[in-house]
Structure 1
Amino acid sequence: MNLSLGAGRWWLWSALCVLLLLLLGALVFLARAYEESRLSRELEQVATDMVTEIRSDLDRNVQALQRLQAPGPDDTAWQRGATALLLSNREILRIEWRSTDLQIRLAQASPFQPFLFDQLPRSQVQPDVKQACANALRFAGAAYSTSYFMPLQEGRGQELLEMCLPLPEDGGFLVLTYGLSDLLGELHKREAYRSFSVALTESDGTRLAIAGHSARDRTTMAAVHLLELPGSAYTLRVDQARELKGLRPKALSSTLTLLAVALVGVLALLSYDVRKRLQTEARLGEALAFRKAMEDSLLTGLRARDMKGRITYVNPAFCQLVGLPPEALIGTSNPAPYWPADRVDEYLQRQTSRQAGQQPLRQGFESEYLRSDGTRLPVLIVEAPLINGIGKQTGWMSAVLDLSAQRKIEEQSRASQERLAATARLAMAGEMASLISHELNQPLAAISSYANGSLNLLQDPEQDCADLRPDLEEAMRRIANQAGRAGKVIKSVSDLVRRRERERSAVPPQQLFDGIAPLVQLQARKVGIEVQWEIAPDCPAVWCDSTMVEQVLLNLARNGLQAMPAGDPTPASGLRILQLRAEPALAQPGSGRQWVSFSVTDHGCGLSDEVAQRLFTPFFTTKREGMGLGLSLCRTVVEQHGGTLDHSSHPPRGTRFSFTLPAAL
C-alpha cells in the first residue's frame, strides 16, 4: 500500500524511534545497575552484621564460661552450671575442664547431642585441643582451633571447632566444643536473616557449614566477609536471590518502564494520526482499482438496480451475457431491453413480488434472457438487498449465471446414462447366460450319465428286457428329476440376477442333503472318495430357497472332490474323505434369532494366500475348464439369505467351507 510518504519522512521517523529506544534502554540499564549496586551494598552490610553478631555470641559464651566456678570437692555445682550453659546455647556441644597437661578432669556433653564422640573418641582430636590451648596461653585469653570433621551415624557428619580458655588460678583449661552448623543455625533463626543463605568456608572456598537454602546461579547475589578468631580465620558467605528479574523490577525500574511504554504509545498514536489521512486516501484509490479489477475478472454477471427498478450498475460479464454495452443498459427501467417480449408480464409480476418481500432472499431462480442477436439464454439469478452505511436499503444486487453450458452437460449426461443403462443390460444378460451355463453343467451331466447307462443296458444282448424294466424306470425317473432341476436352476439364476424375491420355506437339512446326494455320490465313486453326511440331532430346519441352497452345497462338494485328485491323498492314508455336516450355530450378536451352520470339508492340498485373497472374485479360477462363477454365486446366494460364507484351513490338510442360514422359527 502506497502511503505517499517521502523517503525523508520515513527516515526521520525511524531515527526518532531508534534514538528513543536507545535512551529508554540506557535509562532502564542504569536504573537496574543502581538497584543491583544498592542491593549489593545492603548484602555486604548484612554479612558485616552477621560476623559482628557471631563474634558477640562467642564473646558472651567466653564470659559465661569465665563465670563458671572451678569444681570443688563436690562436682555437682560445676555440672549444674555447665548443663545450664549447654541448654541456653545449642551451638555448644561439650564443656570440659582439663588439667595443665590437658587431661580431662570433668566433662559435660550437650543434652541435644549426647553421643557426639561415639564414632570418634575424644582422644583422636587431642592435637586440635593442644593447638587451641597453646594459642590461649600465648594470647592470655580464649583461642580457637581450626575446624575438623566429626563423623556421625548413618553416614552423616558435622564440622566442629574447639575453644580453649586458660584458668589462671589452678593453671588448668576450660575447653568448649562448637558445632559450626549449629552456630550458623542459631544465627539463621533470627527474623532478620531468614531470607538469606549463610555459609562458613575456608580460605580456598571449601564449604564447612551452611544454613538456609543455597542456589548459586545467575539470579543469586553474594557477599563475602572475613571472620577472624584468635587462632583461626574463616570466610562468611551470604547469598540472596536477586529481586530484579523478569517483569518485577524495583520502583525506579518500574517507573522508567512505564514511562517508556507511555512514550512509545504516544509516539505510536502520533504516527497513526499522521498516517490515517494518507491511508484513507490510499484506500479510496484502492477501492476504485479493486472494483475495476473485479469488473474485468468476474465471469458472473452483476447487475444493480435502485428501489424503482432502474439499472445503476452492470459489469462486463453481464454485458457479454446479454450482448449489449453498458451505455445501453444503465438508466433503463422495466421492461429491460434483454427481456423476451412474450415473457414481459411474467417478469414484471415476479419482480414486483420479490421487491415486496413475498419471496425468500438470496434464493436463486431460473429465468431466460434475450441476447442482442435474437438467441435465448437460460440464466440463474440470485438477488440480495443493497444496504448503505446507515443500514438503509437503496436497491437490489443480482448475480447472473449462464446456464447454457450446464444445460449442454446435462443433456450429454442423460445420453451417457442411457448408453450405460444399455451396456449394463447387455452385461447382465451376459452374466446371466454365464451363470446359467455354469449351473446347468451338473444336471445335464447327470442326465447324460443316466441316458448312457440306459443305452448300455439296452444294448447288452445278455440282458432280458423284462429284468431291465425296474432299472430303466429308475433311470428315466432320475432323468426327469434332473430335467426339472435344470428348469429350477434356470429360474433361480434368472431371479438372482434380476434381484427378484424368491419363495422360501422351512426345509430340513436332511432334505437338502438328499437332493444332492445322488450327484455327489456318483462323482465321488469315480475318483474313489468316501462321502460322509452328518446332521446334528438337535439341528432345526432352515428358512431358505431349497433349489439355490442345494446348488451351493453341490458347488462346494464338487470343489471338494476336485481338490482331491486321484492319488492325492493316497487311499492308504485314510484321508480321501469328503465330509458334509449341518449343526446349530451360535447366535450372531444383536440378531435375536437362531442360525444353522453347513460345512463341506475336504483333505486336499489347501489354498495359497494369493488364491485365498481372490477366491470369491467373479471369473477368477484355478481350473482349466472353470469359469470362476461358482463361489461368487454361492456367496451371493448365502448373503441374500442373511448368512455368511467363509473358509479356513483344516489340519492336518485340506480346506473347510462353511456358511450359515437362518433357522425356521
Structure 2
Amino acid sequence: MPKHAPSPANAAASPAPLALWRHWWRKQSPSRQDRFITLGPLLAVVLFLAAVIAAFGYLRIEEIDREQQAVRRDVEYAQQRLRLRLLERQEQLMRIGRDVSNKEVDTEEFISQAESLVNQYPELMAVSWVDSKRRVKVSYISPSASASQIRSAGEQLKIGETDGTFGLARDLRQPVYSRPLVTKENNGYKTPSLQLQVPLDDQGKFDGVIMGDYSIDGLLRFGVPTEVTAKYAVTLVDDKNMVLAGNVPPPRNPAARLLPWSDSAAEYEIPVSPVGNGLLIRAEGYRTSLGVVGSGFFWLVSALSALTVWMLLGTWRHTRRRVQAQQALISETNFRRAMENSMLTGMRALDLQGRITYVNPAFCQMTGLSESELVGCTAPFPHWPEEELDTLMARLDDELHGRTPPGGFEVRVKRKSGQIFDARMYVSPLIDPRGQQTGWMTSMTDITEPKRIREELTASYERFTTVLEGLDAAVSVAPLGSSEELLFANKLYRAWFGGEVSGHLNLIAQAGVPVSTPTDDALDAVDGLAGLPTDELTAARTENAEIFVPELAKWLEVRSRYLTWVDGRLAQMVIATDITPRRHAEEQAALQNERAQTASRLITMGEMASSVAHELNQPLTAINNYCNGMVSRIKGQQISNEDLLVALQKTAKQANRAGQIIQRIRSFVKRSEPNRTISDVATIVSNAMELAEIELRRHHVRLTHYIAARLPNIMVDPILIEQVLINLMKNAAESIEQAQLPPARRSVELRVVPKHIEDQAVVEFSVLDTGHGLSPEVMTRLYEAFYSTKAEGMGIGLKLCRSIVESHHGRMESENLYNGEEVVGCRFTFWIPVRPLLSLAAAATDNVAFKDAGVP
C-alpha cells in the first residue's frame, strides 16, 4: 500500500459530495426548496443564452478583424498607386525645369510640352513658369480648370495662392508640395487643389519655379484603382479631417462602435506620399450584409431563450404567490387561534338543535369547566344555576328561534365551584361558506365588576348632586358654541335664573370671559376654538370677575372654568357667589378710610395752626402798613400817581400771597373724592414743601431738597401724595425738636429720584432727619393703628400714609441712619410705580374701578 493512500476506513468515514449535498438540501425549508427548483432551470437558460451570445460575438469580432485587414491592404495599395502617379508627374516637371534652366526651352516650347502633359494626365490642371519675383512668365491651363487656376502672363502671384510653398522651394532648392488649397468659386462651389513647385537654377542662383496645379478630385478618380473605389467609400482629407474629394458615407451611431458585434464598417486612413501628412487617403467599407448577428438563427435562439426565461419567471412568480398565500393562511389561522385563546370574552357555538359544538378557553375559564365537559352537552347546561333553570330554558328557546334583542341580555352563570356571577350574552347566527346557517354563536362577558362600579357611580353621583344642590353658590355648565342647551344647574341657579341657559350666558357676558362661538360660515376659515385654553383642562386657571346683576339686585363673584363633559364635548362651568354683604362692608371701610384721611389732614392743620397764623400775619401786616402809609401821604398830598400805583401793586401782591396760603390750606383739608390724574412730580413736591415749610420754620428746622431733572409723570391723587409728604416732613421736624439738637444740626432733607425696583420703573421719595431715630420697639409697631410715641398723638398718621402709598401700588419703608454704632437720624422712603399715561376716558374708568374696590 502507498504511504499516502487513504485507508478504506477513512474513505468510508469521509462523506461523499452527493451525501453532503443531500444533507444540505434536506435542511432547507419547503419554500426555499421550491425557490431553488424554480431558479435552477432559469439559471441554466440564462447561461445557455450567455454562451450563444458569446459565440456570436466571437464570430463577429473575427469577421470585423478580417474586414479591417482587407481594408488596410486595399488602402495601402491605392496609396502606392497614387504615390507612383505623383512621382511620375513630379519627374516630368523636373525634366521641364532642367530644360528651362539650361535655356533649351523657350516659352513656346514650354507651352507645347505643358499642353502635352496636361492633356495626357487629367489630374494636372495647369503648368506655369514663375520667375524669382513671383511673376508668371507663361502658363498653360486645362480647359476643365476652375477660374481661380487661370493665370495670365505677367501676373504677380499672391503669397496666399502658394501658401508659403514658393519660399520653401527657394530655400530648399527641391520640389515641394503645398498643403491642399480650397478656393471658393463664384458659383459657390469649393475647388480643392494641390501645388507642386520645382525650383529653377541659373548657375547656382534661384531663377523661379515650375508650378504644377493638381486637382485633388482628379487625383482620386484617376489615381485610385477602380477595384478599390468599388468596394469602399474612398475620400481624400486634409490634416484637419476636412473632406477634399470622394463620397462621404452616411453617419453611423457612435455607440455602435462600442459593441463588437455591431454592424459598423471597417475603415482605414494613411498619408499620401510624397505630399505628407497634409493629404490623407481614407477608405470605409460598405455594409453589404447584415453579418452574423443579423441572421435568423441568432434571433430565433434569442427569442426562444427569452420565452423560456419569461415562462420560468412566470412559474416562479406563481409558485411564490402560492407559497405566500399558504404562509398567509397559516399566519391567519394562527392569529385567529391566538386571538380566540387570548380574548377575555367567552365564545360558545350551538347547533340548530341547541347542542354545544365549540367553546373557547375564555368560556372555559369563566365557568371553570373544561372543553370536554361542555362540548356535546344539551340543555340544561352544567353552568346554569338550579334556581333559574326555567328562565334560562326560555332564554335558550328565544336564542334558537332568533328572538334575542340586539343589545344582548343579562343572565346569571354558575361556576364549577358553585360561585354565581353576572354575565351579558350576545347572540348572532353562524353562517357557513355556502351561506347556510349551521347554528348560533354566543359571546359572554363577565359584567360583575362593571355592574358593581356602575352602582357605586350612581351612589357617588347622588352624593355629588346633593352637595352641589346644597351649595350657597349658583353652579351651571353649558357646552361651548351652544345657546340653547344647559348641561347642569344646581338648586340656587334654578332659583335665581330658572332652568334657562340665558342666565349662564349673561353671567359670562357681564364677566367679560372671552368665548368664541363658531358660525357655519366661519367654520372653514376661522378656528372656532380660538381664545380657548391650549393647556390640559385640568391645569386651566379659573377666571374671576365681580359683577352687579340688576335683576337680582346682587353683587356676584363669577368664576369660570373650561372642562371636558362626560360626552367628550368642551364645556364651560360658571360658579356665581353672592358677595353683596362683602361689597357693602368694603364700601363702609372705604368711607371710614376716607373720613380718617380727612381727619388726619385736619389734625395736621390744627397742629400747624399757629405756624399758619404767623405765616398769614406777615402779608396782613404788610397790607395794613401799605394802606396806612398811602392814607397819610394822600392826606398830606405828598404822593404821586406813580408812587400810589407802586404801593397798590405791593398791597395786591401781599393780599394774593395771603390768599394763596389760605387756598392751599383749604384745598389740603377739603374732603373730596379720590381723583387720580396724570400728575407732575415736581409740582406735587413744591406744593407739599410750601405747606410743610411753615411748620418747619416754627421748629427752627432747615429744609433742603433734591429733585432729579426730567422726572416721569405718575398716575396719582396729588392731594394724597402731598398729605404723605407733609406728614413725613412734619414728623421729621418734631423728631428733631424732641432731640433738642443745636441749630446747626436741625435739618430735614427731601430727595426725589427715579429708580428701578422689582423690575419696574418707580419714583422714590425720601425724607431724612437728624433726630435720635426709632427704637426697635417703635420700629415693630410703627404702622400699627392708634399707636403713637407722642403724648398728644392719635396714632393714625403713618397708618394712613402707608395705606395711601399701597393704594397707589407702592411701598413705604423706614430705617435708622448710623455713624458707626451711633444713630444719627432716620429715613422714611416710599416709591410710586410709573404707569403708562392713560387717556382721560381711561383715567376716569380707573378712578371708578378704584372707588368700587374701596381703595382711596
TM-score (norm 2): 0.35
TM-score norm. by structure 1 comes to 0.43
Higher relative contact order (CA 8 A, sep 6+): 1
Larger Rg: 2
